[in-house]
Amino acid sequence: MDEVWILVKCICGNLFGSRKASFSSCPRCGSSKGKTQREFQSPKSLAEAVAASNLPLQISQEVESRIAAEQSRRAVLGEKTRGGPEAIRSIMRLSTGSDGRLTIKKLSSELEKEGYAEPSAEQVIGQAEMEGILFMADSESWYWL
């Protein structure tokens, strides 16, 4: 069976699945002006895509932004010279919480995750303080300047 299944996005924003050969109208608003987003070779993969598309918007955005963050993280770390100031700077950014503070604990775990034995988190912070990038918030965390 070479039947093709399509994931359709309606003008009303609803996503639904259909056979390509017998495109149906939107089950929510009845419009047939939907646009095909993707094609599938099996109803099963279509069903999965529909289910994923109809995740509550916020959750799917969160998942997407997490994936995007992970991809850019890899790209940044991959492109920059290992151990260079830019690579270290990106690790520092990854170690910064949503409150804008970089903690030494997080920094050392991120350095470890990236496989750095040197420089240590203390050295990175010491250097950044000298450069005037960070200033101490308390004994464990730093703010960016």
Give, as ranges, the residues between 26 and 65 that touch Zn ion (CB under 5 A): 26, 28-29, 31
Which region among 21-29, 85-93, 109-117, 128-136 touches Zn ion (by CB under 5 A)?
21-29
CB nearer Zn ion, residue 26 or residue 88: 26
Question: Nearest approach, Cβ of 28 to Zn ion (angstroms)?
Answer: 4
- Asked if the bond preceding 43 is cis, omega within 30° of 0, the reply is no
Question: Nearest approach, Cβ of 44 to Zn ion (angstroms)?
Answer: 24
- For β-strands 15-19 and 35-40, DSSP reports them as unpaired
Distance CA 45, CA 1 (A): 15
CB nearer Zn ion, residue 19 or residue 33: 33
Residue type, 96: T
Distance CA 60, CA 9 (A): 16
Question: Nearest approach, Cβ of 31 to Zn ion (angstroms)?
Answer: 5
Judged by CB under 5 A, which of 10, 46, 91, 94 binds Zn ion? 10
Q: Read off the tokens for 9.
A: 């996005």
Q: What is the C-alpha end-to-end distance of the chain, expressed in Å?
A: 62
Question: Nearest approach, Cβ of 18 to Zn ion (angstroms)?
Answer: 12
Closest CA to 47 of 13, 19, 85: 19
Distance CA 44, CA 46 (A): 5
Question: Nearest approach, Cβ of 26 to Zn ion (angstroms)?
Answer: 3
Judged by CB under 5 A, which of 12, 63, 75, 145 binds Zn ion? 12
Residues of this chain that interact with Zn ion (CB under 5 A) are 10, 12, 14, 26, 28-29, 31
